[in-house]
Amino acid sequence: MATMIRPGLVDELQAYGAEDVSKCFNCGNCSAVCVHSEAPHVLPRRPMHALQLGLESKLRGSLEPWLCYYCGECSEQCPKGAEPGETMMSLRRWLTSTYDFSGISRLFYRSWRWELFSIVALAILTGIGFALFGMSQGSINHYDGPSAFLPSAMIHRFDWTMAVVLVVLLGINSIRMWRSVTRAADVKPSIGSYVAALYTLPVHFFTQPKFRQCDRKRPWLVHLVLMLSYVTMLVLIMFFLREMAAGPAIDWRVHVFGYLASAGLIVAVVLNLRGRIKRDSPQHAHSHESDWMFLVLLLTVAVTGVLQHILHRLGLDAAANIIYIVHLMGVVPMLVLEVPFGKWAHLAYRPLAVYFARVQEHANEAVARGGATEPAS
């Protein structure tokens, strides 16, 4: 593959949150202290050097930014204050924009105003749409039953429609990620390599063992609680919405998981917001605008979800329906905009990066054994 050099790439990365990369003089301290730095993925030094040289094609196919979990050791040990940890974060944003076929990620990460405008506009349209639908066929004073303002069956169909759109968008962008990675690979993996590495996807999605290897365990635990809480709530909404919406009696078979997931979301988001406000750790020392929007939107969704549940159980159906609309005004932008085009996309790209790294490792081992893996063209 031809090497693409862009001298202005360092300047472009500043729009994605990169600090002064020119301060880095490749001393190697960052890679020496990084627990994830091992051949062939020498991080963060290797992508930092490629960025300084403007090696865009190499960076597009790089897995190193995704294999970094931003524990902050590299930034603390950097003698020049080049902030390699924050540069890895900015490279993840930049890579997300390169995978995205629509250009929305690039627009959002380079302009917080466009991201905020899109979120607010979609939220308003969502609120108007659900309010008009509810008034056209139900009563604001009924939360469930035949005269429900927002029947759970309709919301269920709407959720599945959004899920299909989300899978298609993330699927296309994940394929583009795979193409970038395979183009930059030294060897072409066989089907056997992809199959042999499949176990890494669920393991790293649900437990994030590489993050746990970092010296600081609290960020891993908070991130794990946040992710598992979100996934739990998503499963409940997609498969058990009727049971979740029925009431006012509490169905403990599903609601206990909803309570745990809601508590996990709220606590994890509050801890992250507190850290970013106080800047009390390396990974919270710098905050991109997209970080704040992601956290505020997620907190809004979690709090309004809990509030509408409480109001419905208290028999205040009109108030519950109003808060439900506000809740949906947060849910739709989060699922349609933030998950495929913003920070939530990391949920897909990071485990995929670990998977692709294991595929490449397996392919290289096959070559060493004289296997059937072919050199990459």
**What are the φ/ψ torsions at residue 327 (nearest 5 degrees)?**
-60, -45
| 306 and 271 share one domain | yes
Residue 291, in any domain of the structure = yes
Determine the Cα–Cα distance for residues 14 and 243; give it in Å rounded to an integer: 47
Q: Indicate if 133 and 274 belong to the same structural domain.
A: yes
In a domain, 331, yes or no: yes
The pLDDT, as a whole number, for residue 68 is: 92
Pair 94, 231 in one domain: no
DSSP class per residue in 198-232: TTHHHHHHHT-HHHHTSS-HHHHHHHHHHHHHHHH
Domain boundary, last residue among 46, 68, 99: 99
What was the pLDDT predicted at 259?
94
What is the per-residue pLDDT for 244? Answer: 86
pLDDT number for residue 273: 93
pLDDT tens digit at each of 377 positions of the chain? 456 677 788 888 888 988 778 888 888 899 999 988 888 888 898 998 899 899 998 899 999 999 998 888 898 889 988 889 999 999 999 999 999 999 999 999 999 999 999 999 999 999 999 999 999 999 999 998 889 999 988 999 999 999 999 999 999 999 999 999 998 887 889 899 999 999 999 999 988 888 888 877 788 899 899 989 989 998 998 888 888 888 788 889 999 999 999 999 999 999 999 999 998 888 888 888 999 998 999 999 999 999 999 999 999 999 999 999 999 999 999 989 998 998 889 989 999 999 999 999 988 888 888 755 444 44
Domain boundary among 72, 99, 126: 99
Domain tally for the chain? 2
For residue 248, is the peptide bond before it cis, meaning its omega torsion is within 30 degrees of 0? Answer: yes
Question: Does the residue 39 lie in any domain?
Answer: yes
Which of 99, 115, 131 marks a domain boundary? 99
User: Is residue 31, in this structure, part of any structural domain at all?
Assistant: yes
Q: Is 279 left (phi over 0), alpha (psi -120 to 50) or beta?
A: left
Domain that holds residue 277: 104-359
Whether residue 367 lies inside any domain: the answer is no
pLDDT value of position 283: 80
